[in-house]
Amino acid sequence: MKFGTKAIHAGVEPDPSTGAIMTPIYQTSTYVQKSPGDHKGYEYSRTHNPTRTALQNALAELENGKHGLCFASGMAAIDAIIKMLKPGDEVISTNDLYGGSYRIFTKIFQNYGIKFHFTDMSDLSKVEALVNENTRMIWVETPTNPLLNIIDIKGCAAISKKHNLLLVADNTFATPYLQNPLDLGADIVMHSLTKYMAGHSDVVMGAVIVKDDELHEKLAFIQNACGGTPGPQDCFLVLRGIKTLHIRMERHCENGRAVAQYLINHPKVEKVLWPGLPDHPSHQIAKEQMRSYGGMVSFALKGDRMEDAIATLERFRYFSLAESLGGVESLCGHPASMTHASIPSAERLKAGLSDSLIRLSVGIEDIEDLLADLEQAIG
């Protein structure tokens, strides 16, 4: 199947009991058994639920994987992945990581003896230089949040295979519509389904997709044992959302390009970060591993004053000032005080995340209205 057909049909079948074309919401906690252990594949909804199974199967197909696992949030998915490690293990990740990932790594798992290294992953020699006998995992986020750097997944995969490490790719910003990390050599791909995959700002959920049976077995055990699973209503909403993923992403990319082009020509804008711009430092890698460049755009105003950025954010009308991203509506945010506040200021600045940076999640509204909103907000 082509991607658009796959988004609509992957992992789902008409309900066998009624012929309902949409997967039912199996709002139940438990299932009747004919005899102890003799059941129809379902015994308790923390372990398995038919609505969740349909979504997990759909996600596996979209990412060209074999197994999908859903969690109550993107952070719960990250939590499950890191729980495969043990005290003394080390992880290498990017230095411009999503603030929530940085927080769980440094404030939670570091307390349990797991060590994390954060480096500029645009230079793969820096990644390999950090590998030692305790390294167990490389954690990639591409495009990064909010600096929109592109990390070479194939290059990281070569390092991980050479040293027998697990390569994890956070594919939240790109979605399987724009890139498939498993095809590029990653062992695990994770998503905050809250964002583009669900696409309507009405659900919180995460997912992990793998090809390897042993990895799936380990992660499924953690999913069930720790219990961070989503309910069937939320699974239904994500199943519904991914049916339009391809057409939504086309519009996000189209509008993202128009917004980036507008901003680079604005006299009050100092810099624009969008992987589709030819002068983006990672444009060539993005061109090779992505099908298009997405709807996330970050920019900074001339003068680099936080007060100017905040005043601009307060003037937006169609770009709503809010956490999160990837919904059909356009959002704007101030990473330094919102999504990345948990990262120390010195670390943010070292990675290039200034206090005046504005992040846009460009929605699917009419582009003329969005450009007019940028004009009046920036001035």
Position 207 scores a pLDDT of 98
Mean pLDDT of the chain: 95
What pLDDT is stored for residue 247 in this prediction?
98
Contacts of 13 (CB under 8 A, 6+ apart): none
Confidence check: pLDDT of 351 > 90? no
pLDDT at 374 over 90: yes
Given a cut of 80, is residue 96 above it in pLDDT? yes
pTM across the whole model: 0.95
Picking from 352, 310, 306, the residue whose alpha carbon sits closest to that of residue 332 is 310
Confidence check: pLDDT of 282 > 80: yes
CA gap 90, 109 in Å, rounded: 11
| Residue-level pLDDT at 336 | 83
Residue range(s) of every CATH 3.90.1150.10 domain in the chain = 245-378
Residue intervals in the chain for CATH 3.40.640.10: 3-240
Q: What is the pLDDT of residue 6?
A: 96
* Beta bridge partner(s), residue 300: 271
Q: Which residues are CB-contacts of 229 (< 8 A; sequence separation ≥ 6)?
A: 45, 46, 49, 52, 70, 71, 72, 223
- Stretch 280-293: mean pLDDT, rounded? 97
pLDDT tens-digit profile of 104-115? 999 999 999 999
Give the whole-number percent of the chain exceeding pLDDT 70.
Answer: 100
Mean pLDDT of 144-169: 97
Which amino acid type is present at position 128?
E
Q: Which pLDDT band holds residue 227 (cuts at 50, 70, 90)? A: very high
Task: List pLDDT tens digits, range 182-207.
Answer: 999 999 999 999 999 999 999 999 99
**Phi and psi (nearest 5°) for 92?**
-110, 130
Strands of the 135-141 sheet, one edge to the other: 67-71, 206-210, 188-192, 166-170, 135-141, 90-94, 115-119
Residues 262 and 243: their CA atoms lie apart, in Å, by 31
C-beta separation of 156 from 131 below 8 A: no
Task: Name the CATH architecture for the domain at 245-378.
Answer: Alpha-Beta Complex (3.90)
Phi (first) and psi of residue 128, to 5 degrees = -65, -30
The reported pLDDT for the residue numbered 350 is 75
In this prediction, residue 242 carries a pLDDT of 98
Q: Output the pLDDT for position 308.
A: 93
Q: How confident is the model at residue 347 (pLDDT cuts 50, 70, 90)?
A: confident
Q: Is residue 156 pLDDT above 90, yes or no?
A: yes
Assign 157 a pLDDT band (cuts: 50, 70, 90).
very high
pLDDT of residue 339: 72
Overall size of the chain counted in residues: 379
* pLDDT over 90 percentage in the chain: 90
* pLDDT confidence of residue 81: 98
- 3-240 fold: Aspartate Aminotransferase; domain 2 (3.40.640)
Instruction: Catalogue the active-site residues.
Output: 46, 98, 170, 195
Q: How high is the pLDDT of residue 177?
A: 98
Q: What is the pLDDT of residues 291-345, one digit of tens each?
A: 999 999 999 999 888 899 999 999 999 999 999 999 999 999 998 888 777 777 7
pLDDT tens-digit map of 22-77? 999 999 999 999 999 899 899 999 999 999 999 999 999 999 999 999 999 999 99
